[in-house]
A and B are shown apart, each in its own frame.
Chain A
Amino acid sequence: MQQYAPGDSVAYRVIGTSPARADAWEKVRGRPIYAGDFALPGMLHGAIVRSPYASARIARVDTSAARALAGVVAVLTHADVPRNEMRMELPGSMAEATAGAVLATQPVLAVDRVRFHGEPVVAIAAETPEIAAQAVELIAIDYEELPGVYDPVEALRPDAPHVHEGGNVLRRWHLRTGDVAEGFRRADVIVEHTYRTPFVDHAYLETETGIGWIDAEGVLVLRASTQVLEHFRDVADVLQLPHSRVRIEGAYLGGGFGGKEDVTVECLLGLLVWKTGRPTRLVFSREESFIGHGKRHPYVLRYRTGARRDGELVALEAELISDSGAYAALSPWVLFYSLVTATGPYRIPHVHVDAVTAYTNNPIASAYRTFGSIQTCIAYESQMDAVAAALGMDALELRERNFLRKGDAIATGQVLETEPMLAETMRRAWAALGPARAGDGPVRIARGLAASFTPYGRMCWTRDSASAWVGMELDGTAVVRCAAPDVGGGQTSSLCSITAEVLGLPLDRVVAVGRDSHFTPRAGTTTATRQLFMSGNAVLRAAEAVRRHLVDQAAELLEAGVDDVELAEGAAFVRGAPDRAVPHAAIVKAMSSSGRPMQALEKYDAPVAPTIDPLTGQGKPFNDYTFGTQAVEVEVDVETGGTRVSRLVACYDVGQAINRQSAEGQIEGGAIQGLGHAVLEEVALENGINRNPHLIDYKIPTTLDAPPVETILIESGNGLGPFGAKGIGEPAMTPTPAAVMNAVSRAIDRRVTALPITAERVLAMLAADDAPAVPSKERGRRIDGANEADAALGGAATGFRVEGPGATGSARS
C-alpha cells in the first residue's frame, strides 16, 4: 500500500483525516464561478423550443416571425446541424449475439418527429434572454400527434407502436449459472414478488448550463457544467469539426449525480456559438431541466427466490424490464449493472436472469447514481426479508447465512479476492439503531435494513485509464493537473490530499488546477464511482515519481542514503535525526540547478479482463465492488398513511477514507437522496407528459424530511484505489430505498413492492384485503415441504405469491 513510504509503518498524516476541502473556503464565500456565472462581453443568450407532445409528427416549422424579431441573431433547426445525430455504440463483440441496437442515435434537433415531451426542436440565440424567450413564443410548429407507448411492458408487445424503426427492444442481457430448475427443486420455500420503481429525477440545485466562445486559434470552447469533458468529441462530431478544434473547460458543478453524464447543453450550445460566431450562454430553466434530461429508469422486476429450510439460498429466477424512454442514452449499460447485481451480495448457485430495456415515448432514462444497482437492490433485499418471513427465520441471520465471502464467486463467475465484510457492515448498522422504540396510537414504529453491493470503476473490458501530472514549484509547493470534473464530491480535494501525503507537504501547499480537455491530462469521466480509483491512482503515481526525485536530491543535500530520507511537513529529514533537515523549497531549488525533473506525467490503467459472454453474462465484469448496509427506523401513521424515516445508519467498507468528511458526506448525501427515492419522489407522467416539472411538485427531501444519518466507516485497505480506497459515491445510495421498504413492510404487515411509499399507497395497501402480505417473524410458520410452496405458484402476475401458510395477521415486528 504505502509504496512511497521508506519506513515500515508510517502513519498517514493527511490521508484519513478530515481537513476542509480545498474549495470549501471559496464556496462558503459564494466565489466559485460556476458555468452559469460566467459572462463575456457581447454574449448572446440561447433558448430552446421543445416539443409539448410525447409522440408526434412535425408537419411544419415556421420560424419567420421569430427571425423577424429585432435582436434575434439565430434561429436554427435540424437543417442547420452539420451531422444531426449523437451516437451510442456498443463496442466489439458486445454488439453481437443478443437482440437490440448496435448503433443508437439521437438527433440534436428533431427532424420530422418528436419522441418525448421536451425534445429540442429549434435553437435560438438572441441579444437578451427576454428577446430569446419572446422568439420561442413566435416559433410556429404544426404537430400531428402519433400513437405512443408509455410503458415498457406494453412496448414489448408485438402490436405496440414503434418508437424507432426496428422495434422497441433496445437491448437484452442474460445471466446464467447452474441449473435453475434443479435449484427450485431443491428449495423448501419459493418466494415470488414483482417490484416496480418510478422515473426519478436528479434534481441537482444547478440546472444544465454553459457558455461558449471561439478563441483566437479558431477553437470552439465550451465552459459547461458537465461530468464528462470528453463530450468535446460529441460536439466536434455534430459540427463536423476536428476533435482538436473543440475544447471543454469544466467548471465546478452544482451537482451531477449522473444527470450531467450525457450531453446536456453541449451540442446545442456549440451549434449556437459556431453558427453565430459570438459568445453565447445557454441556461436550462428548472422546467427544461425536468423535461429535458435523462432520469433514473423505471423497472419492473419479477423475482422468484428459492431457499432451503435452513436458510440456504438455492435459486434465483428474475426478469428485469427497464424503460429506456425515447432514446438509448446509457440504458444498455445501466441494464448491464442491474444484471450483474441482480443476485445481491449472496451466494446463489442456480441463477437465471433475463433483462431487457425497451424504448417508450417517456422521458429519456439514463445514468443516475447507482446506475441500475438501486433497482435490483430494491428487489433482492425485499426478497431476503420475504424469504426470512416465509421461513420463520431472522432476516439478519438469513443474510449472514448467504453473504458472499472472500473466495466466493458472484453469479458471473467472478471470484471475490478480498473479504466483503458484509456481515460486519450489517451487524454494526443494525446495532447502531439503538434500543427499539414503541409506537404510539396510530403510529407504528419498525426497522428494516438492506445490504448491498455496487461496482466502482468501469467495466473491465473498457480498458479504462486516467492520467495526471504533478509538479513542484520553486518555493516548494506542488501543483496537480488532472482533468477530473468535481461534481461536489470533493474529487479535486482528494487529489490534493493524495499528493500532500506522498510529497510530505502540508495540504495547503498543494493545489489541483484545471479540469480542461485541452490543458490538463485526460482523466476520464466523473461517473461510475471511478474518479478516486482512477485519477487517484494516476495522481498517486505521478506524486510518487516526483517524490523519488525529491528524495534523491534531498539525500545528496543531507548526505544520507535515500532509504533514510523521510518527507514530512514540507521538509526532508534523516530518519532518527530530525535536526538534519532541509525544506522542500531548498530541495526544489537544488533540483532546478542540477537539472533533475521537477514534475511527472503518469497514467493509470485499470486491470483489464475479456468481454463477458453476452449470452450467459459469465466473466469478470468489474474490477471491484463496494459493500455496505443501511438500517432505518420508520414511523408509519396508519391513519394518515404518512411515513417518516426517523433514524438512518449506514455502514460501509470504504477501504480507506482519503478525506474522512468527504467520505461521510458522500454517504450522508447518498442516503438522503435514497430516502427521497423511497418516500417522496416520482416523475408524474401522463401518457409521456411530465406533470410535475417543478420543485414545488417534485418533492425532494428537506431538512425536516431528513433524519440524522450516522455513518460507520470500515477501512479494510482492500480497495483498488490509492491507499486501498474503494469508491463510495454511488454505493452510498444503493440500499436506502430497500431498507425503507423493508421497514415499512414490517410496520404495516404488507410487503411494499412499489415506490415511492406515499401516504396514498400505504393507505391503499392497508385497505386492500388482497394486498401482498408479509408474515412477520413472530407469526411466521415454517413451511413443511416444497410441494406446498410449489402448489401456490402460478398466482397473480404481481404481488405476493408464495410464502407458505399464515400469511395474514396483525402481529407487530
Chain B
Amino acid sequence: MIAIEFRLNGGARRIDAPAHWTVLDLLRDGLGLTGTKDGCGEGVCGACTVLLDGEPVRACLVLAARLSGRSVLTIEGVGADAPDPLQDAFATLGAAQCGFCTPGMILAARALLSVNPAPTEHDVREALAGNLCRCTGYVKIVEAALAAAQHVTPCASPRSS
C-alpha cells in the first residue's frame, strides 16, 4: 500500500492504495466514485476520462501513485457548486442516451472549452475523437458542446475546481 495525497474535486484527500491501482481503480473501488466508467480498461474508449490538473487523461492508464500533489476533477465534481453549462446542454439537448460515455465526454469537452471557449464544430469533433459513443452518432453531443460554449464564462476553467 502507498499513501497518496491529492486534491479531488476541490477538496484535499489522503488515501492508502495498492501500488498497482490505476486512478480508475482508486476512484471506483477505493473512493466509491462510480461516475467514472470503465469501458475497456485499455485506454481506447475514453469512458474513464478525468481531468488531471485540467488536462484530460484516461484514468485506466494512469497509476494512482501519480496523483500525489496533483488535482483531479471527476464528473462528481462538475456542477457541484454551480450549474454547469455542459451538463445543462447535454441534458436538455439529448446528448446522453445510455449515459455510459457521458461523464468522460463532458470532461473531455470541459477541457476543450477551458482552452478554446469558442470552438468550431471541427474543434469539438477533434477534441472528442478519443471518446467513443455507440448510441448517439455524436450529433447531439457535438451540438451540446457547441451550445455550452456559448454559455461558458471566461473564468470557468477546470483548474478552478
Per the 8 Å Cβ criterion, residues 12-67 of A in contact with B are: 18, 20-21, 23-34, 36-37, 39
- Whether A488 and B97, one on each chain, are in contact in the complex, defined by CB atoms closer than 8 angstroms, is yes
**Is B6 interfacial (CB-CB < 8 Å)?**
no
Question: Which of these, A254, A669, A700, contacts B99 with CB under 8 Å?
Answer: A254
The reply on A487 being an interface residue by CB < 8 A is yes
List residues of chain A with CB within 8 A of the CB of B129.
702-704
Contact string against A for B residues 86-109, beta-carbon threshold 8 Å, 1 for contact and 0 otherwise: 111011111011111111001000
Q: Are A669 and B136 in contact (CB under 8 A)?
A: yes
Interchain CA distance A708-B143 in the complex, whole Å: 10
Residue picked from A26, A33, A669, A673, most chain B C-beta under 10 Å = A669
Return the chain A residue nearest B107 by Cβ: A30
Could you say which of A18, A30, A205 contacts B98, with CB atoms under 8 Å apart?
A: A205
Select the residue from B94, B136, B140 with max chain A CB neighbours within 10 A: B94
Q: Which one of A207, A670, A703 lies within 8 Å of B138 (CB-CB)?
A: A703
- Segment 175-226 of A: residues with Cβ below 8 Å from B: 202-207
A483, CB-defined interface residue at 8 Å: no
A286 to chain B, nearest CB (A): 4
Residues of B contacting A28 in the complex (Cβ-Cβ under 8 angstroms): 79, 86-88, 90-91, 96, 99, 102, 106
Q: Contact partner of B137 among A33, A202, A206, A672, CB < 8 A?
A: A672
* A255, B91: Cβ atoms closer than 8 Å: no
Encode contact with B along A112-147: 1 for CB under 8 Å, 0 otherwise: 000000000000000000000000000000000000
B42 to chain A, nearest CB (A): 6
What is the CA–CA distance of A705 and B110 in the complex, to the nearest angstrom?
22
**Given the known A-B contacts A668-B139, A703-B124, A703-B129, are A30 and B36 also in contact in the complex, defined by CB atoms under 8 Å?**
yes
Asked, given contacts A28-B90, A703-B124, whether A487 binds B98 with beta carbons under 8 Å apart, the answer is yes
Q: Which residues of B contact A703 (CB under 8 A)?
A: 124-126, 128-129, 131, 138, 141-142
Residues of B within 8 A of A36 (CB): 38
Q: A21-B94, A37-B34, A704-B129 are in contact. Are A203 and B99 (CB under 8 A)?
A: no
Within 8 A of B (CB), among A661-683: 661-662, 664-665, 668-673
B135→A18 contact, CB < 8 A: no
Asked whether any CB of chain B lies closer than 8 Å to the CB of A764, the reply is no
CB neighbors of B among A312-339 (8 A): none
A252 on the interface (CB 8 Å rule)? yes
A798 close to B (CB within 8 Å): no
Residues of A within 8 A of B41 (CB): 285-286
Chain B residues, Cβ within 8 Å of A286: 39-42, 45
Query: Which A residue's beta carbon lies closest to that of B88?
Result: A28
Chain B: residues with Cβ within 8 Å of the partner, total of 55
Bound: A232/B64 CA distance, A: 39
Interface of chain B residues 59 through 102 with chain A (CB within 8 A): 74-76, 78-79, 86-88, 90-94, 96-102
How near does chain B come to A515, taking the closest CB pair, in angstroms? 14
Contact A669 B97 (CB under 8 A): yes
Among residues of B, the one whose C-beta sits closest to the C-beta of A27 is: B99
Interface centre among A25, A28, A664 (most CB of B within 10 A): A28
CB pair B135–A206 under 8 Å, yes or no, is no
Can you name 11 A-B residue pairings with CB atoms under 8 Å?
A: A23-B99, A31-B35, A664-B140, A669-B136, A694-B42, A701-B138, A702-B138, A703-B125, A703-B128, A703-B141, A709-B139
A11 within 8 A of B: no
A420 within 8 A of B: no
B23 shortest CB reach to chain A, Å:
15
Q: Are B36 and A205 in contact (CB under 8 A)?
A: no
State whether A255 and B94 are in contact (beta carbons under 8 Å apart), knowing that A205-B47, A704-B129 are contacts in the complex: no
- A residues in contact with B40, CB < 8 Å: 286, 694-695
By a CB distance below 8 angstroms, the chain B residues around A20 are 91-92, 94
Give which listed residue, A26, A205, A665, contacts B39 with CB less than 8 A: A205
A258: Cβ under 8 A from any B Cβ? no
**Which B residue sits closest to A670, measured CB to CB?**
B137
| Residue from A25, A285, A670 in contact with B91 in the complex, judged by beta carbons closer than 8 Å | A25
Contact in complex: A33, B135 (CB < 8 Å): no
Q: Once the chains bind, are A29 and B139 in contact (CB under 8 Å)?
A: no
Query: In the docked arrangement, what's the CA distance between A325 and B159, Å?
Result: 51
The reply to whether the CB of A253 lies closer than 8 angstroms to some CB of chain B is: yes
Q: Complex formed: what's the CA distance from A18 to B94 in Å?
A: 9
Nearest first, the 10 closest Cβ-Cβ pairs linking A and B are: A30-B35, A488-B98, A254-B100, A672-B137, A27-B99, A30-B75, A661-B94, A37-B34, A668-B137, A24-B91
In angstroms, how far is the closest chain B Cβ from the Cβ of A171?
Answer: 29
B132 within 8 A of A: yes
Report the minimal beta-carbon distance from B65 to chain A, rounded to whole angstroms: 17
- In this complex, how many residues of chain A approach chain B with their Cβ under 8 Å: the count is 57
Any B CB within 8 A of the CB of A489: yes
What mask results when residues 21 to 42 of chain B are scored 1 for a CB within 8 Å of chain A, else 0? 0000000100010111111111
Complex CA gap A37/B132 in Å reads 20
- Report the bound CA distance from A24 to B90 in whole Å: 8
A482 to chain B, nearest CB (A): 19
B140 CB to nearest chain A CB (Å)? 6
**Cβ contacts under 8 Å, B93 to chain A:** 661
B residues in contact with A665, CB < 8 Å: 94, 97, 135-136, 139-140
Q: Cβ of B44 < 8 Å from any Cβ of A?
A: yes
Residues of chain A with a CB closer than 8 A to B44's CB: 694-696
Judge whether B76 and A695 touch: CB under 8 Å: no
* B102, A30: Cβ atoms closer than 8 Å: yes
Q: Are B75 and A204 in contact (CB under 8 A)?
A: no
- List residues of chain B with CB within 8 A of the CB of A673: 134, 137
A7 to chain B, nearest CB (A): 30
Convert A267-293 into 0s and 1s, putting 1 for each residue whose CB lies closer than 8 angstroms to a CB of B.
000000000000000010110000000
Contact of A671 among B38, B133, B137 (CB under 8 A): B137
Residues of B within 8 Å of A29, CB to CB, are: 35, 75-76, 78-79, 87
Contact check: which of B76, B96, B134 meets A27 at CB < 8 Å? B96
Q: Quick one: given A694-B44, A706-B138, are A664 and B94 in contact (CB under 8 Å)?
A: yes
CB distance from B4 to the nearest CB of A (A): 19
The reply on A372 being an interface residue by CB < 8 A is no
Question: Given A286-B42, A662-B94, A704-B125, A255 and B140 touching (CB < 8 A)?
Answer: no
Taking each of B45, B99, B101, B124, which has the highest tally of chain A beta carbons within 10 Å of its own beta carbon?
B99
**In the assembled complex, A604 has its CB within 8 A of some CB on chain B:** no
With an 8 A cutoff between CB atoms, is A800 at the interface? Answer: no
Query: Is B134 a contact partner of A700 (Cβ separation < 8 A)?
Result: yes
With A203-B134, A706-B138: A30-B79 Cβ-Cβ less than 8 Å? no
* Whole-angstrom distance between the Cβ of B152 and the nearest chain A Cβ: 15
- Chain A CB within 10 Å, residue with most, of B91, B97, B126, B138: B97
CB contacts (< 8 Å) of B38 on chain A: these are 36, 283
CA distance A673 to B138 in the complex (A): 11
What chain B residues lie within 8 Å of A488 (beta carbons)?
97-100, 135
For residue A63, give the distance in angstroms from its CB to the closest CB of chain B: 26
Those of A772-805 within 8 Å (CB) of chain B:
none
Query: Smallest CB–CB gap between A210 and chain B, Å?
Result: 15
Contact across chains for A34 and B100 when beta carbons are under 8 A apart: yes
In Å, the complex CA distance between A664 and B47 comes to: 23
Known contacts being A28-B91, A205-B134, is A255 close to B34, with CB within 8 Å? no
Contact B128 A490 (CB under 8 A): no
Q: Are B140 and A695 within 8 A (Cβ)?
A: no
Knowing A20-B94, A25-B91, A694-B42 are in contact, say whether A205-B136 is a contact too (CB < 8 A): no
Query: Whose C-beta in chain A lies nearest to the C-beta of B45?
Result: A695
* Additional pairs, 7, CB under 8 Å, beyond known A252-B98, A708-B139, A709-B137: A252-B99, A255-B98, A286-B39, A286-B41, A665-B135, A696-B44, A704-B126
User: Does A257 touch B at the CB level, under 8 Å?
Assistant: yes
CB nearest to A289 among chain B residues: B40
Would you give the shortest CB distance from A499 to chain B, in whole angstroms? 20
Known: A255-B100, A706-B138. A24 touches B94 (CB 8 A): yes
A258 CB, min distance to chain B CBs, angstroms:
12
CB nearest neighbor in A for B125: A703
B139 near A700: Cβ-Cβ < 8 Å: no
Given A205-B132, A206-B98, are A30 and B137 neighbors across the interface (CB < 8 Å)?
A: no
